[in-house]
Amino acid sequence: MAASSRQQSSVRDKRPNFLVIVADDLGFSDIGAFGGEIHTPHLDGLAYAGLRFTDFHTAPACSPTRSMLLTGTDHHIAGIGTMLEIAPEFRGAPGYEGYLNERVVTVTELLRDAGYLTLMSGKWHLGMSRETSPWARGFMRSFALLPGAANHYGAEALVRMPAARRRMYMEDSDFAENLPDNFYSSDYFTDKLIDYFEQRTDDLPFFAYLPFSAPHWPLQAPEDLIAKYRGRYDAGPEVLRQERLKRMQSLGLCPPNVTAHPVIAETKEWDELSPEERKISARSMEVYAAMVERIDWNIGRVVEYLRKTGELDNTVVVFLSDNGAEGAIAEAFPVFGPLIGEFVRTQCDNSLDNIGRSNSFVWYGPRWAQAATAPSRLYKAFTAEGGIRVVAFLTYPGFQRQQKISSCFTTVMDLTPTLLELAGIQHPGTSYEGREVARMRGRSMAEYLRGDAATIHPADQSTGWELFGHRGIRQGDWKAVFILPPQGPGRWQLYNLANDLGETNDLAAANPDKLSELLRLWEAYVEQTGVLLVPPAK
C-alpha cells in the first residue's frame, strides 16, 4: 500500500505500544499466578500487576485461534475452518483454505497503515507460502515458523512434511534454510524480536507479536532446567491436579465449592503403570515444566528490554494460551499419527535419561493435560471448557481494572477490536484495499478495562465454536455442547456455567426449552460463519 494512503503521523506518536504473547498448548493452571507450581516469576509479576481473566475463550486448537486473534472474526470465516493437516478432506471449501484468506483484514495490516511498526517472531501456522506468510499480512519484520510444530532444537523437520526442512522458517519475505547451531525455539524467537526492537530507527509505536511454539510437543528443554524438576511429579497427575485446584481456589480463580469434571482418558491410571512407565511419564512432565519456565525467562528478557528503553509503561501486554492443554496421544492422529509413530520408533531415543533432548520426541498425554485444565472438562481439540477456556491476562498501568481478577466472558476475537480502539483506529467494515472483507465479531474490551463498563459482552449475545465435529454455543451462563464419542455422548448437552464450571450436570432433559433456544442460536452461527460438519462434495 502506498504511504500516502496510510494514516501516518509526522510527529512522535504517543499511542500505546502492544506486546501480544501466545504460548502454544499451555494449560490453564501452568503458571504460578493461575495456580501452578512451575517457576514463572516474570509471567506472575505481569499477571498480578494486570487483569487476570478466568472466563477467556479461544478456539479448541492453535491455528483457528491465531486466525481469530489477528482478525477479530471467526476462524471459519478467516480461512481456518478446520486444521487441514488433521482433516484434509475439507480443503477447498470457502473458509477452509488453510491460510488467512482475502475475506479478512488483519490487525497488523491496519496498525501498519496507521503508522505502527509491526513485528513478529515465532509460530505462524496460518499459511506455508510467501503469499500467505506474516510478510504478506502486515508484518514489517518477521521471523516465522510456518507450520504448526517442529523440533525445538531445529534438528528435524516436521515428520508429516518430508520436504519441509527447506521451507519451515521465513524471515520477512525469504525462506530461512539455515538455523544457528545453538537454536532453541523459545530463545531464538526472543532473540529475533529483541533484534528487531534494537533495529528501530524511529519513534513509531509498535505492535510486537511473540507466539512461542513451546510447550507444544515434542517436549524438549535445556537439561539444567529439566534437572530442577527432577522428582517433582513422581506422585502422578491426579495428585498434581488436586494441588492445583486447591491453589486456584485460594487465589480466587475458581469457586471454593467447584466440582471438577472427572478425568476422561483411555490411558492407564497412575497406579496401573509399571515403575518404569511412571518414571517416563513423570520425566515427560518435568521436561514440560522446564519448557514453561524457559518461556517465562524469555518473556523476562523482553520485559527488561522494554523497561530499560522506557517503553514498558506505555505498552499494553497481552498473554494467553492458544487453546487448552494438549491431551492427545500424538501417534493416534489418523492422518499423520502413523508417520509420527514410525519416526519415533526409528529416529528417536526416548530412553529415560534422553527424554527432553533434541533427538527425543515425547508428549505427556491426557492425564497430565487434565491436571492443567481442571476443573474444566477435557482439553485441546474439544469444545468443552477444557479445550477453549484458557489462561490469559492483560497488563497496562493506564487501565483502571488492574491488579484484579475478571470473571467476565471474553474471547480471543475481542483482542483486535480492543487494540484498534486503543490505537484510535477504525476497522474498515466491509471493504479494504478494494476487496470485500468480513466485519469483526469480537467486541472491544476498552471500556471495561477503563472501568466504564461492567461487562464486555451483552447478556443476549451468543458465541459459537466448532472444530473436528465437536460443537458448542453459549449465551450468558448457558452453554450447549456436542462432543463426539468416545470422549462425549455424541448428542447435545446443556450446562449452566455459573454454578457448574466443570460441566458435570447435564440439564438438557430438565430444560428442553433452553436447549432448543440455544440450538436455534447454533443454527444461526452455522449460517453466519459457514461451518461445515461434513466435507464438501468433490
Residue 455: inside a domain, yes or no?
yes
Catalytic residue among 62, 76, 427, 470: 62
Better-predicted residue by pLDDT, 362 or 344: 362
125 as an active site residue: the answer is yes
Number of H helices, E strands in the chain: 14, 18
pLDDT at 522 over 70: yes
pLDDT number for residue 177: 78
Residue 535: inside a domain, yes or no?
no
Full residue range of the structural domain in which residue 299 is found = 15-459
Residue 134: inside a domain, yes or no?
yes
Catalytic residue among 39, 42, 125, 470: 125
Q: Which of 256, 238, 240 is nearest to 248 (CA)?
A: 256
Secondary structure in 3-state letters for 301-339: HHHHHHHHCCCHHHEEEEEEECCCCCCCCHHHCCCCHHH
Region of 172 (left: φ > 0; alpha: ψ -120 to 50; beta: rest) is left
Model's pTM, two decimal places? 0.95
pLDDT digits (tens, 9 = 90+) for 141-152: 999 999 999 999
pLDDT at 160 over 60: no
Residue 538: inside a domain, yes or no?
no
Percent of the chain with pLDDT over 90: 87
Residue 483: inside a domain, yes or no?
no
Cell digits of residue 265: 482418558
62 as an active site residue: the answer is yes
Number of domains in the chain: 1
Mean pLDDT of all residues in 503-513: 98
d(CA 104, CA 78): 6
pLDDT number for residue 312: 97
CATH of the domain at 89: 3.40.720.10
pLDDT at 27 over 90: yes
Residue 33: inside a domain, yes or no?
yes
> Given pLDDT bands bounded at 50, 70 and 90, which one contains residue 332?
low
pLDDT at 3 over 60: no
Mean pLDDT of all residues in 13-33: 95
Mean pLDDT of all residues in 382-403: 97
Give the Cα-Cα-Cα angle 233, 234, 237 (nearest 5 degrees).
Answer: 60
pLDDT at 19 over 80: yes
* Residue 408 identity: C
pLDDT at 471 over 60: yes
d(CA 507, CA 271): 34
pLDDT digits (tens, 9 = 90+) for 398-442: 999 999 999 999 999 999 999 999 999 999 999 999 999 999 999
Region of 531 (left: φ > 0; alpha: ψ -120 to 50; beta: rest) is beta
Residue 120: inside a domain, yes or no?
yes
